[in-house]
């Protein structure tokens, strides 16, 4: 069994287009999407049209939830920018998404962690502003009760894989559309991949078990960077140009 996992598209339609072409070019037809599809100052409407027509298994991210839970006037500017491009069918699709699901009977999918769509699983922000590998015991505790041999999550935009007890593997494929960002909880921190390519992963099951291949795909990131700049978001423009924050 082989399939691709995409996550954290964040409205970057050119990155999504490039990733889908790369997946197709490898002869892979099955894809799952780990959420945070639209939020950002980019092309949410185009991404929505593409995702609705793809109809792939998708779990709801925290930013997807904000788009259907919050009043537009209360939204963060990244969510509000996406919301303005979405129509009723796109919002209905978001409302239809589960917070987690089991794919093909043996792959557990969620956006961030099983119980909290806004908590880093494999990583954690620390007081000095760095983001580091979470201690093994904490990763294990967050996986309690999930016995799927392969677990997929997104949210942090950092490609990462960790082995769990019982032979389980947990994989974050990284972000299709947003290679760097900052946040202020629980500590002010930056997440930076250090490159501007679109990330995803190929998951494959062999006799030895599940493995992950992390893929990075070049695309016209400077066009998306220019769009972010034109939309008044210089930090997004920097992230999309370089994979680093200003």
Nearest approach, Cβ of residue 39 and Fe ion (Å) = 8
Among 65, 134, 155, 157, binds Fe ion (CB under 5 A): 155
Among 62, 78, 193, 221, binds Fe ion (CB under 5 A): 62
26: number of Cβ within 10 Å: 13
Residues between 77 and 136 that touch Fe ion (CB under 5 A)? none
Query: What Rg, from alpha-carbon coordinates, does the chain have?
Result: 17
Chain centroid to Cα 109, Å, comes to: 12
Residue 32 pairs with which residues in a beta bridge?
5
Nearest approach, Cβ of residue 164 and Fe ion (Å) = 21
Cβ proximity to Fe ion: between 116 and 204 the closer is 116
Q: Which of 57, 50, 30, 185 is nearest to 111 (CA)?
A: 57
Nearest approach, Cβ of residue 245 and Fe ion (Å) = 17
Residue 133 pairs with which residues in a beta bridge?
123
Nearest approach, Cβ of residue 90 and Fe ion (Å) = 18
Q: Which stretch binds Fe ion (CB under 5 A): 29-37, 66-74, 95-103, 134-142?
A: 29-37
Cβ proximity to Fe ion: between 44 and 210 the closer is 44
| Site for Fe ion contains 36 (CB under 5 A) | yes
Output the CA–CA distances (angstroms, integers) from residue 193 to 70, 78, 174, 176, 239, in the order listed.
30, 20, 9, 12, 9
Nearest approach, Cβ of residue 156 and Fe ion (Å) = 8
Nearest approach, Cβ of residue 155 and Fe ion (Å) = 4
| Site for Fe ion contains 61 (CB under 5 A) | yes
11: number of Cβ within 10 Å: 30
Q: At what angle do helices 234-242 and 221-230 cross, to 10 degrees?
A: 170
Cβ proximity to Fe ion: between 172 and 242 the closer is 172
- Coil, helix or strand at residue 33: strand
Q: Which stretch binds Fe ion (CB under 5 A): 13-21, 141-149, 154-162, 164-172?
A: 154-162
Judge contact between 185 and 236, C-beta under 8 A. Answer: no
Query: What are the residues binding Fe ion (CB under 5 A)?
Result: 36, 61-62, 155
């Amino acid at each position: 069994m082989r399939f691709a996992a995409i996550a954290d598209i964040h409205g970057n339609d050119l990155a999504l287009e490039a990733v889908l072409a790369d997946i197709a070019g490898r002869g892979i037809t099955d894809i799952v999407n780990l959420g945070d599809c639209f939020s950002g100052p980019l092309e949410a409407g185009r991404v929505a049209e593409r995702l609705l027509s793809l109809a792939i298994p998708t779990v709801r991210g925290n930013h997807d939830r904000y788009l259907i839970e919050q009043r537009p006037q209360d939204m963060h500017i990244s969510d509000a920018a996406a919301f303005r491009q979405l129509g009723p069918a796109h919002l209905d699709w978001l409302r239809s998404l589960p917070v987690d699901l089991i794919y093909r009977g043996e792959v557990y999918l969620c956006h961030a962690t099983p119980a909290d769509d806004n908590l880093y699983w494999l990583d954690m922000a620390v007081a000095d502003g760095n983001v580091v590998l979470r201690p093994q015991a904490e990763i294990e505790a967050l996986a309690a009760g999930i016995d799927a041999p392969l677990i997929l999550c997104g949210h942090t935009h950092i490609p990462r894989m960790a082995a769990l007890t019982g032979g389980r593997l947990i994989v974050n494929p990284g972000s299709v559309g947003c290679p760097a960002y900052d946040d202020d909880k629980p500590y002010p921190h930056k997440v930076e991949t250090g490159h501007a390519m679109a990330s995803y992963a190929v998951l494959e099951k062999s006799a030895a078990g599940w493995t992950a291949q992390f893929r990075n795909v070049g695309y016209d990131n400077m066009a998306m960077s220019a769009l972010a700049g034109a939309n008044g978001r210089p930090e997004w423009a920097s992230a999309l140009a370089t994979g680093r924050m200003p």
